[in-house]
Amino acid sequence: MEKVRATIRDVPDFPKKGIVFKDITPVLANGELLRDVIDAFVEEWRAESIDKILGIESRGFIVGAPLAYALGVGLVVVRKIGKLPPLTVQESYALEYGTSALEIRTDAIAPGERVLVVDDLLATGGTAEAAGKLVRRQRGTVVGYSFLVELAFLNGARRLRPDKVHALVTYTS
């Protein structure tokens, strides 16, 4: 994953002053690295009994879809309010630079289904925590959370424990 780390680009003061955005688009544009990323996710979760991958809008869709395909499981999407057809349930959460809400279709997860939540980046954990709450509200089980990048200095993993939290690349400062 060192080549992946070296390819992630820092964008200072985006989306607002004082934030250093970790841009994964150079990794996604490199076919070899993208394959390595998906293979690493598959290797991490292959032994788990997973029924669905839940991809968080929008970059969680990018890693979630090929991971679901590789594991032979379904893909569920969690989106911002107003982007999914009814019937949906919603969950509000705080971001490191504001607030928002997510929604999921009420028929997306059956009771008892085991769900892996995936996204591109773990920062404060608010978005992933909200996604996990949506899984549990539908009586699904969160198997764990998996990210391409973790900003460990923001302590987002603490919000998600005791569930398993996995990241391919971790930044400690």
Residues noted as catalytic: 59, 96
Phi-psi label, residue 79: left if phi above 0, alpha if psi -120 to 50, beta otherwise:
beta
67: nearest Cα among 146, 144, 169, 167: 146
Strands 141-151 and 164-171, bridge-based pairing: parallel
Evaluate whether 149 touches 120 at the Cβ level (below 8 Å).
yes
Evaluate whether 54 touches 91 at the Cβ level (below 8 Å).
no
Evaluate whether 74 touches 102 at the Cβ level (below 8 Å).
no
Q: In sequence order, what are the beta bridge partners of 142?
A: 115
Alpha-carbon span 36 to 68, nearest angstrom:
15
